[in-house]
Structure 1
Amino acid sequence: MPFLERHMREANDVKSLLRDIRRAMDYAVPEAQRAGADDLVDQYRDDRLALMLLREFYSFLPEAAEDWAREILRIDRRQGIFLLALASGSGRYVYLVSDEGVEFHGDVKDGCLTDELLDFFGYESVDDFVRKATGELPNYEALNQDEELCPVCHAASGEYHELGCVVEICPWCGGQLVHCSCRHDQLGVDSIETEAQLLEFEAILEERGRIPYSPEQRPSFLQHESEEE
């Protein structure tokens, strides 16, 4: 999917998410806290991942009672997957957030990560995770404002893109890897249609030397948006 088309599709998703959040907040947020809750939504009004998280929180309140989101904190990020903490009036809750969706994992203080997730994010133990997640954490920064992350696959500066990311640069011609003909030329085919072909191309690509993400790769219209903000 061309990047501009994807950007427009996500803009429509954002509008839908905002409607859902506002509707759920009418029932979830105490009247005295509504202004603060609205401010947080406005802070992330263009960030799809944060809005997905807020919709999940307000639609399924962890304590099944009135509550409001005060801030979204970043615990960790790896391979385009964010481990976020939502601080509310009643607790600090852990969510796994990516383009694929949102998963609620419980209250931070309960050490709510599975062994698989502890290993994935590089924590030696539950206690190691709890120490970090209950400590001072940076605010989650909206993706369209964080130039150190790819706006599509969320690779950090210096990391490789997720294979298939439209921002990745082709190491053969310097164009967009998903749009140039180099991938077909390297395999000697007209199109990549099987998993075996994809794996073969990935091996060829890594042998050639993939180009990691850098802020200079961000589409120009996103850079202009950041400057305007």
Structure 2
Amino acid sequence: MQAHGVMDELEKKRRHIRTLMRYAVPDEAMDAALDLLLIFRDDRTALAVLEEFYSFLPEAKNDWIKELRLVARQRGVFLIAAVASEDAYLYLVSSEGIEFNGSLREGWLDRSLLDFFEFASAEVFQNAAKDVEQLPEYQPLQLDADLCPACQAATGEPHELGCPVEICPWCGGQLIHCDCRFEQLGVDEMNERDLLRFEVLLEEQGRVAYSPEQRPSFADEGPGVELDE
């Protein structure tokens, strides 16, 4: 997606969140709630949490998100605690979408998520999450050089296939723009089967994991976006 398309998408999401907030946030908390939206104005992960929370209020009553805390992160998938006025709520967020995972206070994750985030047991997770104030604050994507600004892979992790930041292991250019995929496959155009073949070749060659040096300069220039009504 081109830069203008991304910014249009984010602006549309921000406007939707602001509309939802008018019906969910108590008047006395509105300024603080809007401040949080401003902080995360260009962070798709945080905006997904805000939109989900205000669309389906967990307790079915007016509330607002005071802060976001990072419970766990693995291969571009985030487990985020949305700290509201009365409780904190867990959201599983990735490029594939968002899923509500209940109250942090309940301290429950299914076995597959415990394994994915490398929690040895439910008790280990509960101990890690029992004090929300001890969890690190979730940082806006544009401020966290340890994350790919496109696919959110962490330093040392492989990019999501198709990420525009990924480096080609054959020529050193941008993988989605160079011709190496066609040369390696011996084709002029790629279909779904070719894509699967190319992924195998890519793994055999050795994918270039994300590092902060790959970060495009535009990711650190600031958004320059106003949150107009």
Q: TM-score, with normalisation over the residues of structure 2?
A: 0.91
- Higher mean C-alpha deviation, range 175-184 or range 109-118: 109-118
Q: Please say if 1:189 is aligned against 2:174.
A: no
1:187 CA displacement:
1.3
Pick from 202, 214, 220 the counterpart of residue 211 of structure 2. 214
Task: Please show how residues 2-41 of structure 1 align to structure 2 within 5 Å.
Answer: 5=2, 7-41=3-37
Q: Verify the 8 A CA contact 1:85 1:94 in the aligned structure 2.
A: yes
Look up the match of 1:161: 159
**What do the CA deviations read for 1:158-192 (whole angstroms, capped 9, x no partner)?**
21111221111111111111111111111111122
Q: Verify the 8 A CA contact 1:10 1:48 in the aligned structure 2.
A: no
CA distance in structure 2 between the aligned counterparts of 1:60 and 1:222, rounded to whole angstroms: 31
1:99 CA displacement:
2.2
User: Structure 1 residue runs of 4+, over 6 Å off?
Assistant: none
Gaps of 5+ in 1: none
**What do the CA deviations read for 1:122-173 (whole angstroms, capped 9, x no partner)?**
1122221121122311111111111111111111112111122111111111
Give the aligned residue type for 1:137: L
Look up the match of 2:227: none
Look up the match of 1:123: 119
**What do the CA deviations read for 1:31-83 (whole angstroms, capped 9, x no partner)?**
12122211111111121221111011111111111111110001111111110
**What is the number of equivalent residue pairs in this alignment?**
221
CA distance in structure 2 between the aligned counterparts of 1:134 and 1:11, rounded to whole angstroms: 37
Look up the match of 1:59: 55
Gaps of 5+ in 2: 224-229
1:100 CA displacement:
2.2
SS at match of 2:108: coil
Pick from 127, 134, 140 the counterpart of residue 130 of structure 2. 134
CA distance in structure 1 between the aligned counterparts of 2:135 and 2:214, rounded to whole angstroms: 28
Give the aligned residue type for 2:93: V
Q: Verify the 8 A CA contact 1:84 1:94 in the aligned structure 2.
A: yes
SS at match of 2:165: coil
CA distance in structure 1 between the aligned counterparts of 2:204 and 2:174, rounded to whole angstroms: 18
CA distance in structure 2 between the aligned counterparts of 1:84 and 1:159, rounded to whole angstroms: 19
CA distance in structure 1 between the aligned counterparts of 2:46 and 2:20, rounded to whole angstroms: 15
CA distance in structure 2 between the aligned counterparts of 1:12 and 1:99, rounded to whole angstroms: 18
Q: Verify the 8 A CA contact 1:13 1:48 in the aligned structure 2.
A: no
Look up the match of 2:226: none
Q: Verify the 8 A CA contact 2:91 2:98 in the aligned structure 1.
A: yes
Q: Please say if 1:90 is aligned against 2:89.
A: no
CA distance in structure 2 between the aligned counterparts of 1:102 and 1:125, rounded to whole angstroms: 23
Look up the match of 1:172: 170
Q: Verify the 8 A CA contact 2:63 2:84 in the aligned structure 1.
A: yes
